[in-house]
Amino acid sequence: MNEVSVSAPGKFVILGEHAVVYGKPAIALAINKRFHLSMRRDNEFKINNEATDIRANPHMRYISSKNDMLPVSVHIDSKIPTGSGLGSSAALSVTFSAAMRTLCGMSLDEEEIAKEAFEAEFFSQGRGSPMDTSISAHGYGIALNAPAAEEDLLWKITKNEHAWNISKMDVPPMTFVIGNTGIRAATGPLVEKVRKYKDSNRFAADMVDEIGRITLEGMEALRKNDVVGLGELMTKDHKLLSILGVSSNELNKLVGASLPYSYGAKLTGSGGGGSMVALTDQPDKVCDAIHSRGGTPFVVRTGVEGVRVSVKSE
């Protein structure tokens, strides 16, 4: 019997979260924290050696039902903290999809994995964009709905009335520090909160449009390697996300503590709790500032590869 080992990276969002759900532009980078999952056929469903009905997990249920429902034993070891805004749920879907497809002898095309994982996320959350699953499948950096050269286009995804063009985005070497508040926040309710606000309030809809505009400016700043300009846009994005109601006192504290030593800082991912990110050339000072305000800091390495699969024959 074969055992499949898969890993896929977490991510952070430089600009554009929440607005991307409505087809606006966004930029996400893969980070050197990975989700590891191994899978083999067994005579009952197991997770980490305990008999568990994996179909109780909606992501796993969706992907199993699309492939086959024969029992498998799954072992999970994630270095991406759950509910931290760093893409752990997307990385679970990506790795589970790649492992299942390997066991079923199906194609391991990145695009197909990204699409299946997105459908699993959407099935579980009932909403969202394909950003997190696409960056976890592809790795490195991606831009969504940005003007891009044809050769940089990775894939297109449509869902209901929204469409996303996902393209490669090369980002010059920059230092980012992540600060995790340690407060877990589920993405679905935060996305729903923004949707309700935007649908009932013209001002909130304008904020979503403005996030889209500054994300396009951020792409220009990245192309010119303009860290000052990019940092200012990140801080502006944080203010817009706060107005939309997805920041928190803890996130604001960590952003405020980082700003004196950073080009810019903002919450990253869905917010509520989770993490913030600072763009800086003084990473040690930012780490100390985050730590002194009760957060867990780490300097991220970007430019990391997407989903990777290896098969061990027994």
Q: Which residues bind ligand MEV (CB under 6 A)?
A: 17-18, 20-21, 85, 128-129, 131-132, 187, 191, 269-270
Pick the closer one to ligand MEV by CB: 37 or 90.
90
Pick the closer one to ligand MEV by CB: 5 or 89.
89
Nearest CA-CA partner of 1 in 109, 78, 102: 102
Phi/psi of residue 17, nearest 5 degrees: -60, 160
Closest distance of CB 16 from ligand MEV, Å: 8
Closest distance of CB 10 from ligand MEV, Å: 10
Pick the closer one to ligand MEV by CB: 27 or 171.
27
Closest distance of CB 11 from ligand MEV, Å: 7
The H or E element spanning position 143 is strand 141-144
Pick the closer one to ligand MEV by CB: 103 or 114.
114
Closest distance of CB 28 from ligand MEV, Å: 8
Phi/psi of residue 118, nearest 5 degrees: -65, -45
Type of residue at 185: A
Angle at 111 between CA 63 and CA 151, to 5 degrees: 170
Using Cβ positions, the residue closest to ligand MEV within the complex turns out to be 128
Closest distance of CB 85 from ligand MEV, Å: 6
**Using N-to-C axis directions, what is the helix angle for 110-125 and 58-66, rounded to 10°?**
130
The H or E element spanning position 190 is helix 187-200
Pick the closer one to ligand MEV by CB: 269 or 306.
269
Type of residue at 56: A
Closest distance of CB 100 from ligand MEV, Å: 22
Pick the closer one to ligand MEV by CB: 211 or 259.
211
Helical ranges in the chain per DSSP H: 58-66, 88-103, 110-125, 131-138, 187-200, 202-223, 227-243, 249-258, 283-292
Closest distance of CB 94 from ligand MEV, Å: 14
Measured distance between the N- and C-terminal CA atoms of the chain, rounded to whole angstroms:
6
Pick the closer one to ligand MEV by CB: 11 or 236.
11
